[in-house]
Amino acid sequence: MNKTDVLIIGAGPTGLFCAHQLGIIGLSCEIVDNLDKAGGQCIELYPDKPIYDIPAVPECTGEELTNNLLKQIKPFNIKFHLNERVEELKKNKNRWHVKTSAGIEFDVAAIVIAGGVGSFEPRKFPVKECEKFEGNSLFYSIKDKSIFKDKTISIFGGGDSALDWAIELSNNSKVNLIHRRDGFSGVEASVQKVKELNEQGKLNLYTKFQMDSVLGDKNIEKVKIKHEKGEIKEIKSDYVLGFFGLIMQLGPILDWGLNIDKKTVQVNTENFETNINGIFAIGDICSYPGKLKLILSGFHEGALAARGCFKYAKPDEKLRFEFTTTSKAAQERLGIKK
């Protein structure tokens, strides 16, 4: 059981900055995110795109913003639980018990939901028997590329992830790239590279084909792919990878008894607490009159929610307002030595 003051659900920009605000007022927190990395939409949807409306930062990419937020919270040594979706919530006297999809449990005084537009889940193959191989020879994301060395891999999809991985894995593996259309949605340079590799015989490209079925006992041995005109091909495969983009789902958070309005959680604007005491919601997931779905709004909401958590985490103490420029306590917590 992980015991901490506050559990933050979501490692997007809002959740990361809220962790900073908790840290400087002396509260501990841990962060859970369904993705394999921190950064939320900034890192998953637009890592290379420039953002122009972060106060005092004229221009930075989604990735740079994430890296800076991570740098800012480094002094607090915050524990991240990635690839975990928060599922269950139970009240236990005046604390909360939370459980993730992998069974990790938390005992916390308060919860900050910074879940954005929901947890990002991969869009999956519609073929039923794929489920059986998921996690052993069929994947929707790659955690350890070394397992593919010298193997035959069938990659499905036509976007950047499918193209990038097809190019990268073709260095050490036999790659089949299968896409249901002739055109690709990934960047032109990657499309050209894939076509070159195909012409050089370093990769097999099958367009206008889709998955028909997967064959194998414990692990995948072959995939059958079907052309739009009906032709079926059987190709040997040790692994199958599907990159069809992400869907966003609020999931079990919807069942926690929170006031939900159009897939957002209603909060007050004093400290962004929900209708349930001790549960706060900030960033894109919260709604209130005048809400702007911008990163800067999420930062403000996180600062106030962090202070709202204080009374649950330290009910016998009073929180004093202080500036970081002059607060010795905040500077100590940030590891600043003068």
Ligand X SMILES: Cc1cc2nc3c(=O)[nH]c(=O)nc-3n(C[C@H](O)[C@H](O)[C@H](O)COP(=O)(O)OP(=O)(O)OC[C@H]3O[C@@H](n4cnc5c(N)ncnc54)[C@H](O)[C@@H]3O)c2cc1C
Contact footprint for ligand X (CB under 6 A): 9-15, 32-35, 40-42, 45-46, 51, 53, 85-86, 114-120, 251, 253, 283-284, 293-296, 298
Q: What's the DSSP call for residue 294?
A: S
Q: Cβ 30 to ligand X, closest distance in Å?
A: 12
Query: Given the complex with ligand X, which of 23 and 116 has the nearer CB atom?
Result: 116
Q: Which helix (H) or strand (E) holds 63?
A: helix 62-73
Strands 279-281 and 105-113: parallel
Distance CA 170, CA 190 (A): 13
Query: Given the complex with ligand X, which of 117 and 175 has the nearer CB atom?
Result: 117
Alpha helices in 96-148 (DSSP H): 130-133
Residue number of the CB closest to ligand X reads 116
Amino acid at 39: G
Distance CA 3, CA 107 (A): 5
* Under 8 Å between Cβ of 175 and 186: no
Distance CA 187, CA 312 (A): 49
Query: Given the complex with ligand X, which of 34 and 152 has the nearer CB atom?
Result: 34
Nearest of 35, 37, 286, 309 to residue 294 by alpha carbon: 286
* Under 8 Å between Cβ of 274 and 267: yes
Q: Cβ 41 to ligand X, closest distance in Å?
A: 4
Q: Cβ 56 to ligand X, closest distance in Å?
A: 14
Query: Given the complex with ligand X, which of 261 and 332 has the nearer CB atom?
Result: 261
Query: Given the complex with ligand X, which of 54 and 330 has the nearer CB atom?
Result: 54
Strand, coil or helix: 191: helix
Query: Given the complex with ligand X, which of 272 and 312 has the nearer CB atom?
Result: 272
Q: Cβ 164 to ligand X, closest distance in Å?
A: 18
Q: Cβ 281 to ligand X, closest distance in Å?
A: 9
Q: Cβ 291 to ligand X, closest distance in Å?
A: 11
